[in-house]
Amino acid sequence: MKSWVGAAVAVVVLVVLGVGGYFLYPIMASQQSSNTVQFEKFGLAVMPGQQFTTTVGELGVTQLPATFAEDELTPEERVVESLIRDRNKLIEENQTLKLKLEKLEAQVAQLEDYRDTNERYAPEQFDLELARVRQELEQRLRALPEAEQYSSLMIQLMAIAGQQEYIHVVRTYDLILDDARKAIVIQRYLPTYTFCVANALSVAANTNAELRSVAAWLQEPDLNPLSEALKEDLDVVLPPCQRSFREALDAVMQSAISG
For range 154-162, the mean pLDDT: 94
Percentage of residues in the chain having pLDDT higher than 90: 30
3-state helix, strand, coil in the chain (%, to 5): 80, 0, 15
Is residue 51's pLDDT more than 70?
Answer: no
Helix H or strand E segment including 105: helix 75-120
Q: CA 228 to CA 222: how far, in whole Å? A: 14
Is residue 152's pLDDT more than 70?
Answer: yes
- The residue with greater pLDDT, 60 or 212, is 212
Mean confidence (pLDDT) of the chain: 75
Percentage of residues in the chain having pLDDT higher than 70: 63
Is residue 221's pLDDT more than 50?
Answer: yes
pLDDT of residue 187: 86
Q: Is the pTM higher than 0.85?
A: no
For range 187-196, the mean pLDDT: 92
Q: What value, to the nearest 5°, has the Cα angle with vertex 121 and ends 114 and 240?
A: 125
Structure confidence at residue 70 as a pLDDT band (50, 70, 90) = low
Is residue 147's pLDDT more than 50?
Answer: yes
pLDDT of residue 77: 80
pLDDT of residue 105: 85
Which amino acid makes up residue 209? A
**Residues 79-97: tens digit of each pLDDT:** 888 888 888 888 988 889 8
Is residue 176's pLDDT more than 70?
Answer: no
Q: CA 154 to CA 152: how far, in whole Å? A: 5
Q: At what angle do helices 123-143 and 190-204 cross, to 10 degrees?
A: 80
- The residue with greater pLDDT, 239 or 79, is 239
Q: Are strands 55-56 and 62-63 parallel, antiparallel or unpaired?
A: antiparallel
